[in-house]
Structure 1
Amino acid sequence: MITRFIIYGFVGWIFEIVFTGTGSLLRGVLSLTGYTYLWMFPIYGMALFLEPVHDRIRSAPWPIRGIIWVSLIFFIEYVSGWLLSNIIGFCPWDYTGFSPYVVDGFIRLDFFPFWFTAGLIFEKIHGFLDSINIHDLSTAALKPEPNFNHNRKKRSLELPRLQKRKVIE
């Protein structure tokens, strides 16, 4: 669980940096400056809790799934923005003044196509993580390895000693 949380957190950061860097190019900033906020890591990591939703809607047509993802992402973005605003005093991604389609500064309705696409990409990432069986590598080192060789003598870690040979003359 922790491993997937970390993976989703990093993937979210990467996507956001690429998204904002592309946005800077569209504004004519050739440095392609991309950015994110440390606050976003746990928010993106929470995608872990959307995996059961994906499992339930997997067989639905992709346009329906995309709309479901947009709805969930808007909800999460709004609640996260509201919580941060009330806890730390501001929302790091305050959209106020950037678009006429802003809701309380927390979400931009004109980001619908981006969140639609992000939701479908999330499905691919979830499928990939399932295919390589990543569940929680953080506890793998804590689990004892199974011992299938109960009757075998334990191997020594020492190197075998060289024996002197008699030289026949």
Structure 2
Amino acid sequence: MESAGRFVVPTKRGRFVAYGLTGWCAEVLFTGIHDFIRTHDTRLASRSSLWMFGVYGLMQPMFEPLHDSMRGRVPAPVRGAVYAVGFMTTEYATGWLLRKALGHAPWDYTYSRRHLHGLVRPDYFPMWAAAGLAMEPLHDLLTGRAGPPA
């Protein structure tokens, strides 16, 4: 919803959808670039799972309160580390639940040298920290705390 030069999504459900869609788009970009770097496949094929919409949508009930509690009080490196721990915990928990329910998770990191049960990669910690910090302005935009980027 556009209001006084700001794009605001006033409902929690609406922001759940916004985070779900944002996560899907980010994952498609990430997997295409990641696989190009690994295999040099110029098709830039990307992938995601419909299950991931809900996983990324969890940003609304989990990330927003965390960001609000640290806003203006906690330095960026610490916020990033907290976000990374939260994202990786959520990644592990949702992967574990989906694996129990479906027999497999939408992702499998067993090809990686370092992983926890194929569900989490410790080397992704900095990426998740950066992703959390990058989500702060989106949260502010969606809740009306910031205007659109100039």
TM-score tier, shorter chain, comes to 0.7 to 0.9
Tell me how far apart the structure 1 counterparts of residues 102 and 13 of structure 2 sit (CA, whole Å).
25
Tell me how far apart the structure 1 counterparts of residues 108 and 30 of structure 2 sit (CA, whole Å).
16
Amino acid at match of 1:64: V
* SS of structure 1 residue aligned to 2:21: helix
Give RMSD over aligned pairs.
1.3
> 5+ unaligned residues in a row in structure 1: which ranges?
134-169
Instruction: Identify which of 113, 124, 141 aligns with 1:100.
Output: 113
Tell me how far apart the structure 2 counterparts of residues 132 and 6 of structure 1 sit (CA, whole Å).
19
Shift of 1:24: 2.1
Tell me how far apart the structure 2 counterparts of residues 69 and 52 of structure 1 sit (CA, whole Å).
12
Tell me how far apart the structure 1 counterparts of residues 126 and 27 of structure 2 sit (CA, whole Å).
15
Task: State the structure with bigger RCO (CA 8 A, min sep 6), 1 or 2.
Answer: 2
Larger Rg: 1
Q: Deviations over 1:86-130 (max 9, x none)?
A: 001111201112x22100111011111211111111111101112
TM norm structure 2: 0.84
* SS of structure 1 residue aligned to 2:79: helix
- Partner residue of 2:32? 21
**Pairwise mapping of residues 65-84 of structure 1 onto structure 2 (< 5 A)?**
65-84=79-98
Tell me how far apart the structure 1 counterparts of residues 140 and 114 of structure 2 sit (CA, whole Å).
33
- The answer to which structure has the higher helix fraction is 2
Report whether the alignment pairs 1:122 with 2:135.
yes
Report whether the alignment pairs 1:3 with 2:14.
yes
**Where has structure 1 moved over 2 Å in runs of 4 or more?**
none
Shift of 1:46: 0.6
**Pairwise mapping of residues 132-143 of structure 1 onto structure 2 (< 5 A)?**
none
- Partner residue of 1:160? none
* SS of structure 2 residue aligned to 1:40: helix
Q: How many residues align?
A: 132
